[in-house]
Structure 1
Amino acid sequence: MSLISHFADESLTEFLRRSNYWASKNRNAYPVKIHKAISELYDVIDCPCDNDCECKKYGCSTHLVRKPGITFDDYYDYFLKCYVDSKAHAALYQGVKDGRGKNSVPATDEIRNNWSAISNVRSKKHLLCSNWCEQLHREMAQFRPNSNTIYRAKWLSLLCFDSFTAYDYASVGLMRRDFNRPSTYLELMKRIRKDIMIHLDNTGGTLQDFRNYDNPSEFFREVPSDSPKPIGNIIDKIYLTL
Structure 2
Amino acid sequence: MTVSPETGNEDRLLFELKRSGALPAATLAAACAITPMGAHKLLGRLEAQGLVVGREDHGDAPRVGRPRKLWALTAAGHGRFPDRHADLTVQLVHQVRTVLGEAALDQLIAARERDSDLRYTAALARCRSAGDRLRELARLRADEGYMARVERQGRDWVLIEDHCPICAAAQSCQGFCRSELALFQRCLGPDWVVARTEHLLAGARRCAYRISAAAVPGEATDAPPQDTM
TM-score (norm 1): 0.19
Work out which of the two has the higher radius of gyration on C-alpha atoms and give 1 or 2: 2
TM-score by length of 2: 0.20
Answer 1 or 2: which has greater strand percent: 2
